[in-house]
Amino acid sequence: MPADPARSSAAPATDAAAALLCALVGHGVEHVVLSPGSRSQALALVAAELERADRIRLHVRVDERVAGFTALGIARETRMPAAVVCTSGTAVANLLPAVLEAHHSGVPMILLTADRPPELRGVGANQTTRQPGMFAPQVRWDADLAVADEIDPDGSAPQSTVLRAVVADAFAAATGTGGRPAGPVHLNLPYREPLAGDLPSWLSQPPAGTAGDDTDGSSGALYQGGGGIGDADAAPEAEAPLMLARGPRTIVIAGADAGPGAEELAHAGDWPLVAEIVSGARFGRHLVHGYRELLGEPDLGGAVERAVVFGHPTLSREVAALLARDDLDAIAVRGPGEPLNLNGATRTVGAVAVAAGAGDREWLGRWMRASQAAAVDLSPPAPDADGLASAEPKQRLGAIAAEVAVLRAPLDRAALVDAVWRATWPHDRLVFGSSRLVRVADAVLGGKKVPVHANRGLAGIDGTVSTAMGVALASQSRGRAGVTRVLLGDLAFLHDVGALLLPGAEDEPRIQVVVGNDGGGTIFDGLEVAARAGADAMDRVLYTPQGVRLEQLALAYGWEYHRPTTRSALDQLLTAPAGGRQILEVPLER
């Protein structure tokens, strides 16, 4: 197509990038996470213009791994995909950890990877590798697009029409339209030089309409799987719910991303609820405390005949052992992530309902009595009011000394997780890293209905801070209240330290990164290796001891830093108004 004289500096790459990104915006994509690069410059400049026109929220990250997990966090919160833009070569490969987690957790994501044209592949051209199909086993859909070769003066060129159709397919695959599981998709975008030109005039025009899905996540089923905090969840394919008879001795199990449907089912069926701390279902009258020990009791866990599972349980071997029993009737309610089938005979259903009739009160009561006895009370002792008011100096001084001792008591892991849990409320967000602390929290914390996130698809330590930043950016967008807290260990924090870098042009989210620092990976203390390996080998190849000065890291990246060593100091920091980015380093005994 001949170039428009008024656009003498137009470039096919720019017009194609504009058509692609505008189509994504038309489908409701609001966030673009971009890592700068030469081959992707047309996408970058179009994204900058869309940000200027307030049509997207743009997040620029130097490290593509950070960018990928930031997009993951945004989508975990909203259930809408963010677009991730990067240049060619190793930049693309750095997205793999986030893609793997998105695949196994069922989190939508759209990768836009710039590439060299086909004639430069496999001939030794700079920064060129085989990008098409790089994520093939993990993505819901991928495409290696044709090279952009048209100038599009009015947005109606055949090239733009094709790109809009591709975006429609990509968005449907990412969000799980039609009952398919949500997850990542990959569009590989080859561009020839010139790599950037004048922006097309039609780019500044607002979209005529939105082709996105405005559903509220409701499919009409009674109890179905969760998968996100936001209300943009794509509805699963309609299917009749499985009717659950009340007869078998049943428990409801809620793993990561289970959502409130698990608690609702337990309440309706009069069944005990085993809910991991990362489930979003750890609340309600039927919640079981100390479930790990109780699952080992013959008259409790040993007597379970049926388990209804929501989400992805990963935090206890006891739950995994139960779900692997070949005599168990295991029913997994389909959620956003990988299907569960540990015993080879688990039935996967879209939704469940409870048959009419009375529940087994004896069965529930057995669990609730055991749960009450197993509950952990981490509340500090109440002040001795009589002693404090006593006219007897010895009694009064003793009461004062007891109060001072409570205030000065050093923090341990249980007190740390309890403080963070108590400080978090429904308008906040809590992100758990895959560290020892999440298992401590799962063992000791009680019930509370708060929004929780964790990357438990593969349970890696990758990208924890980046994910939390994405959650914060999405949950606090457009002036919404709340603080995002991420609780993790020192190694998970150091593994993602690049996420601390935030461009000065972007708004600071309200985020508290709470680092339990015991100087290394003490999670290995609870594994078989601790009984077999010598101390030198444990230190050298497992604990990974470190002496990093986190205060200096915070200073370098422009974060506010605190080092609370007592519960009272930590409580004060967690509950004080948070106005930006904070790192709270809590020293812990090894």
Residue pLDDT, tens place only, 371-400: 999 999 887 777 777 777 778 877 777 767
Q: What is the reported pLDDT for 120?
A: 72
Angle (CA) 96 100 105, round 5°? 150
- What is the tens place of the pLDDT at every residue in 156-173? 999 999 999 999 999 999
Please check whether residue 437 is in contact with residue 588, taking contact to mean a CB–CB distance below 8 angstroms: no
Angle (CA) 492 497 503, round 5°? 145
| Distance in angstroms between the alpha carbons of the first and the last residue of the chain | 69
Give pTM, 2 decimals: 0.91
Does residue 528 or residue 41 have the better pLDDT? 41
Instruction: For residue 146, give both structure tokens.
Output: 């044709």
Q: What is the reported pLDDT for 238?
A: 60
- What is the tens place of the pLDDT at every residue in 546-581? 889 999 999 999 999 999 999 999 999 999 977 799
As a whole number, the mean pLDDT across the chain is 90
Helix or strand holding residue 101 (H, E): helix 96-105
Average pLDDT estimate for 238-260: 93
pLDDT at 218 over 80: no
DSSP 8-state secondary structure symbol assigned to residue 226? -
- The candidate with the shortest Cα–Cα distance to 378, out of 321, 323, 338, 421, is 421
The residue behind tokens 């005949």 is: 305
Q: What is the reported pLDDT for 542?
A: 80
Q: What is the reported pLDDT for 388?
A: 73
- What is the tens place of the pLDDT at every residue in 525-548? 777 777 788 888 878 888 788 889
Please check whether residue 464 is in contact with residue 448, taking contact to mean a CB–CB distance below 8 angstroms: no
The residue behind tokens 């709340």 is: 482
DSSP 8-state secondary structure symbol assigned to residue 534? -
Instruction: For residue 110, give both structure tokens.
Output: 């759209």
Average pLDDT estimate for 263-281: 97
Q: Which residues pair with 517 in a beta bridge?
A: 587
Share of the chain above pLDDT 70, in %: 93
pLDDT at 337 over 90: no
The torsion angles phi and psi of 6, rounded to 5 degrees, stand at -70, -15
Q: What is the reported pLDDT for 119?
A: 81
Average pLDDT estimate for 398-409: 73
Domains and CATH numbers, the chain: 5-204 (3.40.50.970), 241-374 (3.40.50.1220), 377-408 (no CATH), 410-587 (3.40.50.970)
Q: What is the reported pLDDT for 128?
A: 79
